Structure 1
Amino acid sequence: MTATAQPTTLPDGRSLLWEHTGWDDPRAQELRAAMDAEIGPRYAALRGSAPRPAQPTTEDVAVVVLALVGAPATVAATGTLRRLADRWEVKRLFIDADHRRFGLARRVLARLEEAARERGASELFLQTGNRQPEAIALYEREGWARIDVFAPYDPADGISVCFRKALTPRP
């Protein structure tokens, strides 16, 4: 677990500290559970009893980013960088409902992109769902390009929207 040395500030004046942790961190687990509770119902009728793709594991997760806001610090956002055999993938980006509209999603995404660069990645991939217009808008705004649905996601289910982003090296 590592934190950045200098906190930054949100537009409302609250401090923002970044922490890199692992998949099993209970704070990240709590945010992912909130994500499932919020997003899951959007897809229940579409998914039916179809199995979901396998979730990340501690073995394939390179880093989990946490955004800690305020004092005392509240875990406000999370995102995961996953290493698969053929690609790097952004997973489980979620902002707590009380911390939205402060640019945290964009900042988490940028942190994940930088973590991927540091690990030698030249491109990143992600999958979201067609019933998450706020996520789709974020990715498009941040320079991600829509691509064909890739495995393990099912192009026939009508749910997945996939993206790719080329990572330019830092000087």
Structure 2
Amino acid sequence: MTATDAQGPAAATRHALPDGRPLRWERTDWDEARAASLRAAMDAEIGPRYAALRGDSPRPAPPTREDVAVVLLAVVDGEVAATGTLRRLPERWEVKRLFIGANHRRSGLASAVLARLEDEARERDAAELFLQTGNRQPEAIALYERQGWHRVEVFAPYDPADGISVCFRKELNVALPVAGGQAL
């Protein structure tokens, strides 16, 4: 599907960044090349922070095409600038792989991607959302705390004994049903 197919997973909507530059949101598939490229850039940047801590211990399995409900791309000035994923696990909805390309940081995109993923979860009737980050990502931890996320105990599939995972939860204000034009 293409970004102009409004009915499919690559549906696009347009907005603007605070500085006025046009921002286009696209929903796409997990395997889409531009999303995969940003995730690879994330791995290249973040992976070395944890190499000494992880040693040979296995990492949790990454999301799969089957458990991913939404992959968002933020396109700025024709360039894919950011991505984020909403994953459905049997017991929870989880934000995964939120990453802003180096040339697009400090523009409000991280907060915007996170807010869009929260909206996507609400549309799926999620009452709460979870995420995991690492203790060597202070910029991510600060973002989540600024956006009203609260730390929780490390949850599966992450290992509380590895000393790396920092987990968060956010309660979502799910829209109430509307009757006769009035919110209940």
The verdict on a shared fold, with TM-score over 0.5 as the criterion, is yes
Deviation at 1:170, TM superposition (A): 3.0
* Structure with the larger RCO, 1 or 2 (CA within 8 Å, 6+ apart): 1
* Residue matched to 2:146: 141
Structure 2: gaps (5+ residues): 1-9, 177-184
| RMSD of aligned residue pairs (Cα, Å) | 0.8
* Residue matched to 1:78: 83
Structure 1: gaps (5+ residues): none
* Residue matched to 2:28: 21
TM-score (norm 1): 0.96
Contact 2:130 2:167 in 1 (8 A): yes
Deviation at 1:13, TM superposition (A): 2.6
Stretches of 4+ aligned residues off by more than 2 angstroms? none
SS of structure 1 residue aligned to 2:38? helix
Deviation at 1:110, TM superposition (A): 0.4
CA distance in 2, matches of 1:169, 1:11: 26
Give the structure with higher Rg (CA): 2
SS of structure 2 residue aligned to 1:41? helix
Q: 1:3 pairs with 9, 12, 19, which one? A: 12
Matched-pair identity in %: 75
Aligned residues: 167
Deviation at 1:169, TM superposition (A): 1.5
* Residue matched to 2:58: 51
* Residue matched to 1:151: 156
Contact 2:125 2:174 in 1 (8 A): no
TM-score (norm 2): 0.89
Amino acid of the structure 2 residue aligned with 1:132: Q
